Amino acid sequence: MAGKAKAALTLETHEGEKLGMGTKKNQAAVFNFLLDHFRSQEPFTENELEDHTNWRGQTFGTYWSKQYKQLVAPVDSDTFRVSEAFGPYSTWES
């Protein structure tokens, strides 16, 4: 059972590199996406943001609802813009 749980928490990128679900690489990808869209104010969909990570399904949904949704404002029913709430987070610190 433990082997199954561990396998479920690991994904492979298209290069074959194994990444955990909460990796810094995913967080950095989301940060860069949000920063670019904060600066440009270009609208985006939830799916477009998800495509910049290797999180899928419920995992992405959890990150979206608990961390990222508070940083965006709806444009219409399925598109968003990064809001001013992102401003204080616009610098990456590792």
Domains observed in the chain: 22-89 (1.10.10)
Predicted pLDDT at 22: 55
- Of 19-23, 39-43, 64-68, the one with minimum mean pLDDT is 19-23
Collapsing DSSP to helix, strand or coil, 71 comes out as: helix
Look up the pTM and report it: 0.73
Does residue 71 surpass a pLDDT of 90? yes
In angstroms, what CA-CA distances link 16 with 11, 12, 19, 31?
Answer: 9, 5, 9, 23
pLDDT tens for residues 35-56?
A: 999 999 999 999 999 999 998 8
